Structure 1
Amino acid sequence: MGIVRSLGIVVAATAAIAAVTTGSASADESPTVWLCKPGSVPNPCGGSQETYVAASKSVEAGPAPSDPPIDCFYVYPTVSLDPALNADRSVGVEERFIAQQQVERFSPHCRVFAPVYRQSTLLGLATSAGDARAAALSEAYGDIERAWDEYSTRYNDGRGVVLIGHSQGTYMLRALIRQHVDHDDDARSRIVSALLIGGNVLVERGSNVGGDFENLPGCTSADHIGCVVAYSAFDDVPPADARFGRSPSADNYGSALDLPYGPDYEVLCTNPASLQDNSRAPLQTVLRSAAVVPGAPAVVVNANALVAPAPFVIPAQNYTARCESDGDARVLRIEGGDSAELRALPTAGWGLHLQDVNLALGDLTDLVEGQTSTYLAQR
């Protein structure tokens, strides 16, 4: 069974904000609604780590619950099914599922904080265009700024923090780091790392820094801290219209995000399976079992998704990865398994976007564990 069926998310829409959606700006500064926060009940970012290993047809217990010494601040991708161009602040099945899918696996390693934000919705992604993008981004980003401020002042208490984002979440965090972390010595000193997946983090050409950030480089080893892991997964050469892997030629995001663009930059790619030398290496793929979300809308869980006797699944397929430049695109090239089933989006320009995080989820959680040890040793 291929990874797309195993993963089971058809929120094509997780889809990058590269085609970012529309909405109207708001001055609403209501308190943050937290999707996940320590002590919250329910908390979709914390739960059983039991894992079905498909190759051996066995269930493993997974990491035990712990009192982790650092935090994770997670911004989820485009998943909202709200019938409007911007989401509201309520928690739906799609927000809960994506948190379980992408970040619950980090909960033994960090306390997870995940704000609800008025993101551009799937409807907005499909229908918006032009100048309205900036208003939608401004509304979404305002919620993330306020959540970060609340987290920093009320909950952080000097702890190290890993920033985790995917797709629209990564664009939000790129702006947040750029405006509130990169040039703030105190804030930057608390960054264990930033996992900014599927969102075109930019660096100066030929470098692993510059572009988005002047002081947070791409990670170059498993014990490198204060650095960025970023990539977009493709199983083929990115076509000319690929949504990921190339620096945009124009400002697609508006003044609220204030992100760079143009030919002086390239997209950062760090191989989570081989940070130091970027050799082609096997990935630790970890998927979410469809058995844990019975009755969820078809747009969230594919009817063919793998049902397993545990919340997580390590598939029998083996995938390898290496950062490669194809023309002017820089992406994480995936090999192995059934490449036809790896594509879950309508065109090749999306690559393997829906699987970006889960293709390497085991590598990412191992990395955070190691970086935490380095961070604490240097405090």
Structure 2
Amino acid sequence: MPLPLYLLALAVFAMGTSEFMLAGLLPDIASDLGVPVGTAGLLTPAFAVGMTVGAPLMAGLARNRPGRSGLPASVLVFLAAHVVGATTVSFPVLVATRVAAALAYAGFLSVALTTATGLVPPDRKGRALAVLLSGTTVATVAGVPGGAVLGTLFGWRATFWAVAAVCLPAAIGIVKAIPARRVPEAAADGPALRSELAQLRRPRLLLVMLLGAVVNAATFAGFTFLAPVVTGTAGLDELWIPVALVLFGAGSFAGVTAAGRLSDRHPGPVVAVCGPLLLVGWPALAVLADRPVALLALVFVQGALSFALGSTLITRVLYEAAAAPTMAGSYATASLNVGAVLGPLIAAPTLDTAAGGLGPLWASGLLVLVALLVALPLRGVIAADRSGGVLR
């Protein structure tokens, strides 16, 4: 894989760390800025909504900019948002910086997805996507726990400064390493924006995006509320929460890496194997949550299966949106983040049911079931050959 891919992954690592790091920082932020913890919790959905809305918006605005200039510009805006966030004493300003950071991340990821796949031969899109998304999985393994440690030792602002510090070398490296105007082609040389947006009327593309969103919703429904399961049902000390998060992240890294080698040529088997295993895995996690060893083992397995399946489906979105070269990445990004927003919203009410803290795990299983039912009529779309064509 070419060096620019790894530089893009470094930027995704910094941005992914920022996306997930607030879970362990909210009490300190609330205390420092004088707001309730519940109010501070608005920072998380503000980021996710910014990502969902920003993906197509920023991709459309960046159509006339080659990746070499648009990508570092997004990283620098992201950096600036964190500098302001690290220095502000106003909660509304902090919310604004989270929205600005989300818009920058959405713009970056939308362009990076198409840029990454353009750096490799057409039949290696899945492997390129795996390298890019490894930045997110490494963020869950190292970045988020590391941010929590920084926040504990030096305060929540230190974590914001650390994210900003990682962004700078990533931006410089991208400028130096991304070939000029190689990918994506300038909008003037490709399809008109109206033509690219018209691809969203294609049922196959919409169904694959829906499938990716539902699978990601299942992932975030369980992952978001994992901490109460660790300390409540399993009866483990709070120090085991980062251990569980690291295991989930390590599993997700393994899953993305394995799927990257299979999603181009054998996407059908990936879905056929991972889907049913996920359907069994989430309820099994709920049933065995009171057994710490089983809980931690299943957390790793569910992370691997979730990200293997999710990254494969996002690869299919890029294949199905091949006629929208500058917007395809935004469609994939929007699909991911719709799931990231809906998953916790669907899972949260289950905490007040008889299932209690295990409710989100059962909700994840139900969402996987919905995804598999959606996938049944999509067998021909998912089972694609190495060039992106459909195997009949």
Band of TM-score, shorter chain: under 0.3
TM-score (norm 2): 0.26
Structure number with larger C-alpha Rg? 2
Report which of the two has the higher share of helix: 2
